[in-house]
Every structure is written in structure tokens, then in C-alpha cells.
Amino acid sequence: MSNDPTGAFRLDGRVAIISGGTRGIGRAIAETFAGAGASVVILARRDGELDEAKAAIEATGTRVLAIKGSQGDQASIEELVGRTMTEFGRIDVLVCNAAANPVYGPMLDLDRAAMRKVWEVNLEGPLMLAQACCRAWMVDHSGSIINVASGGGVRPVLGLGMYNVSKAGLIHLTKQLALELGPSVRVNTLTPGLVKTDFARELWEKQEATKAAALPTRRLGVPEDLASAALYLASDASSWVTGQNLVVDGGRLIT
């Protein structure tokens, strides 16, 4: 680890994969990592968003690889990791940020198809990505894995039951992987509170002032709040941190 407190946060020469990297928290993480010197690989499902994000980040002078696919699809993961290794020859950071939540309501009303979709994207996907990146590079060369969970993974919220259960599982998966993969690979969870993204729009747009007033910080989060925390977990600044759940929620858990 560098003795320079600023240099410890640099990612020069490293390659980072970010799933769901075209908008919201994932986009902010991709841009922040690029600003810290990393080459970035973004995985997302929409061509237009991939093209726009790639062009915007490349305009800063960063090498970018944009791949269409789903975090919950094994073929997409194999293509993602294979093309990253072909293009860059290494994978130093993995951020599992993509998530799915196709339903809202009581868990007793869940159908199996919706349940499987949440499970395969939010829990199976991060495990498959970790397996692929570790086998391709990280186990032999070191790396940092960051799983993006949710405040609902540590505190139940009505209407989001299966999503919250999947995120609680992701937090525990992180701890298990950290135990198994040390010392070469560090694995941590980044847990956002309510952040102003399109994905969470239904939860904040019509009651932003009320929800912000309930927080000690008196404001909702923005993607950049999480990107700064992700940079810490990805960089040498957190070289002695693994198996942890870093909650960035404006103080929600203490209210």
C-alpha cells in the first residue's frame, strides 16, 4: 500500500468490470474508476445506453469495453470475462451492481417466475461473476470484488420482500467469499440507502422531501456518494478490509 494517502486511491493500470454500468450507481462508479486511472468494462442490457456510456467515458481518455448482456446469464458472463481478458489481459476489480426487482407486493403473492428472476440476477449472478473473474485472473494475481446490496438487505421493507431477501443473501455471500478467497482476493459489500436513481424512482420521487427529512443528513443519496465509497473498496486504501458491509445510507439505519 502506498504511503501517499492520495495515491492509495488511484487505480492506474488496473481493469475494472462494472455490471449495470450505464446508469445510476453503476455509471457513477464507472466514471469514478476511470477518473482514478482504471480501464473499465461495462455490462448492461440495452444497446443505446451502452453506446452512450462508452462514448462519454472514452471522451475522458479512458479505455472502455462495453458488452451487452445480463448479470444473471452464464453465457453473458463468459463473454464478458473472455473479451475482457482478450482486450486487457487482466481483471483487477469486479463490481456486481446490476439488480432485478420485477415485482412489488407481499411475498405470499410472489409467483415462481418472478422469484427466480430476482434470485438469478441478484444472487446467482454475482457468484458466477466472482467465479469467472477469479478463475481468469484474480486468484493468481489478486483483486477486489464489490457486491452492491441494499438497505433492505439489513432492514425489512414492505413490498420489496424477495428483493430484500436476495440482498441479505448477497451480504452473506460476500462474507463467505471473503473467507474463502483471502488473501489474494478481497470481497466487500457496498450497501446503499435510498439513492436518487431511475431504478428507485418509485420510492423517492413523490416524497423526496419527507424521506430526506427523516435522515440525519437531511438529503437523499446521489450515485456519486456510492461511487466514492466503491473507489475506497476497490483501491489500496482498503487493502486490509475484506468481508465487510459498508453502509452508505445518510444515517437511515440509526433512525
- Which residues are tagged catalytic? 163
Burial bucket for residue 55 (CB in 10 Å: 0-12, 13-18, 19+): exposed
Q: 24-35 and 223-234 helices cross at what angle (nearest 10)?
A: 50
CA–CA dist 191, 202 (Å, integer): 19
The SS3 call for residue 62 is coil
For the sheet with 15-19, list strands across it.
Answer: 64-68, 39-44, 15-19, 93-96, 143-148, 185-192, 245-248
Specify the residue for cell string 415485482: 103
Q: Give the type of residue at 96.
A: C
